[in-house]
Amino acid sequence: MTVVRWGIIGPGKIAHKFVEGLRTVPNAQLYAVASSSFERARVFAHEYGASCSYDSYIELVTNPKIDIIYIATTNNFHYEQILLCLQHNKPCVCEKPFTLNSNQLQDVIQVAHNKQIFLIEALWTMFMPSVSTVKQHIQSNAIGTITHAHIDFGFEVPYSAESRLFSPQLGGGALLDIGLYPVFLALHLFGEPHTVKAQMHKTELGVDVHDIIDFEYVNNLTVHLEASFTHNLPCEAIITGTQGEIRMHRMWHCPCTISLTNSQGIHDITPVYSGNGYNYEIQEAQHCIANNLTQSSIMPHSFSMLLMRYLDKIYTICS
């Protein structure tokens, strides 16, 4: 099978995790790295054995030996860097959030569609067996009719105006950085709500640091979502039904333990994991490229658009 040669734009913290995952994927090779700092690119390339390092993104996207590019820069750069990849006919895997808003996302999806180039949002949790395991148990009525879910993700972060998390210029804020995880899981498991209620606590610069969101469904299902840079939350996803409960335990967005509780007791339904979790999205991207697909059936463009529309809606409610 042909080796897939990867290029990376932005050798930051998450890129290290991505490459650790890539190392466990058959026929995947890190080939090149680009950064605004040549030294950072050189050091990263040396650490992981990449052949090329650049301080020019153009050099990366025009290298004919690179098969696919992973974008791991700050949120504000995703839109222009996705377009740069697509304009040079490079398949692209972009770290979440795909873009800053629905208008930007519609633009890049349209370009990918017109040029018939593979494009996917690297929302790594969606590709993990944990999510499909939970959805299968819900669909099989393992805990009866779902009545409520509580999904949160939060940790206390010391405020720093220089941090990307708190920078309006860099696309910071709790919702785009971690709040999209609870929102995505709710949309994926339960679909679109009838009503959305939301409130945000913001910094003086208008960056949200604590978000409380409630989805209400026509079938009386309620979903409470929370994301925070100011509080250490349980970081669990708890789904309650008329006949039991499914719990994705702490750090549910990572490979996690999952339990199902019903009248017979507590049962471990944790799937078997491999790698560090990032390998699943890499495997999916390589599968799509090998089969000449322009989007993934696991994370299609339509779902990325749905997610971004709800993130926009939450911001609008709280503006």
pLDDT of residue 162: 86
CATH number at residue 202: 3.30.360.10
Which of 125, 147, 172 is the last residue before a domain boundary? Answer: 125
| Number of structural domains in the chain | 2
Asked whether the beta carbons of 53 and 45 are under 8 A apart, the reply is yes
Average pLDDT over the chain, rounded to whole? 97
Work out the average pLDDT over 61-72: 98
The Cα diameter of the chain in Å comes to 60
Work out the average pLDDT over 195-210: 97
In this structure, how many other beta carbons lie within 10 angstroms of the beta carbon of residue 177?
A: 20
Indicate whether 315 belongs to any domain. no
Instruction: Tell me the per-residue pLDDT of 9-48, one tens digit each, with 9 for 90 and over.
Output: 999 999 999 999 999 999 999 999 999 999 999 999 999 9
Which of 71, 101, 125 is the last residue before a domain boundary? Answer: 125
Work out the average pLDDT over 124-136: 98
Indicate whether 319 belongs to any domain. no
pLDDT of residue 161: 86
- Does the pTM surpass 0.85? The reply is yes
With a cut of 70, say whether residue 1 has pLDDT above it: no
pLDDT of residue 35: 98
Q: Are residues 268 and 133 part of one domain?
A: yes
Which of 87, 108, 125 is the last residue before a domain boundary? Answer: 125
pLDDT of residue 140: 97
With a cut of 80, say whether residue 71 has pLDDT above it: yes
Tell me the residue range of the domain where 118 lies. 4-125
pLDDT of residue 194: 98
Q: Are residues 57 and 152 part of one domain?
A: no
Indicate whether 211 belongs to any domain. yes
Q: Are residues 267 and 140 part of one domain?
A: yes
